[in-house]
Amino acid sequence: MDLADKLMNVIVITISLLALFFLHQYRFLNSLISTVRTLFKENLTGKVVLITGASSGIGEHLAYEYARRGARLALVARRNQRLQEVADDINFWGSVYSSYFAQQHLKKSKGKIIVISSCAGWVFAPRTAFYNASKAALISFYETLRIEFGTQIGVTIVTPGFIDTEMTEGKFLSKEGRLEVDREMRDVQVSLMPVESVEKCAKAIVESARRGDRYLTVPSWMETTILWKVFCPEIMDGWNRFMILGPGSSYRDSPSKKILDVVNEIKQLLLP
């Protein structure tokens, strides 16, 4: 067994180094394929689109984008008036059950599943453990389904960063499990990070699905965090802990909150 392990180490490391060497060529080829797909995007007129979480945020604006392109919509939400309660057991299983009951119909029509996960599936910010876990579970689940479905059903996994939805307005689960709005906590988590508009995000998702992309990260620069997670995980974890938790006992003492406060004070001085 020891000999087999040593042999596998040599083989895997060698293959990995070769893969990294040809990474640029591979990404160039993918770019060419993506360009071709852009020229032959899917016609959505009359297509049936199932959207879960459709009463607010990204789901709501996805419905608008698909409707503009002539699609026939089936909309699902957990609440009649508003969605976006961060009840993460539901966050995962709601998508699982929807996919389970829809798969037979999707196979008949060569349909597609658009998965709204998050960069939180690999960028693990403190104080959002259950949310992060649910998004990582979504990625893992649909990565597996993609392999099982093969060419029968297309799967596009979307991993948004900071998008202008209720999540970035300060909605969090309290220690008691209640959904609360905490603007100061929002300032800690988001701080000076640029926030993408939900309309722009929805348009990018629809176009990506029409091209048949396997993945989409919005904004695109967030893709670089995957490299930091893979090659320098200690740096990423340490940075998130320092910026969001900080040395103090309260999140109000975190560096990200202090930086935002200083910037706001400067703005007030310059723009009275």
Active site residues: 131
DSSP string, 18-50: HHHHTHHHHHHHHHHHHHHHHHTPPP-TT-EEE
Q: Which two tokens stand for residue 267?
A: 């703005």
Q: Which two tokens stand for residue 33?
A: 């394929």
Strand positions, DSSP E, the chain: 48-52, 72-76, 112-116, 154-160, 171-173, 179-181, 215-218
- Non-local (6+) Cβ contacts of 185 within 8 A are 127, 170, 172, 251
Return d(Cα 267, Cα 182) in angstroms, integer.
22
Question: Peptide bond preceding 219: is omega within 30 degrees of 0, i.e. cis?
Answer: yes
Q: What is the DSSP letter of 182?
A: -
CB 165 within 8 A of CB 56: yes
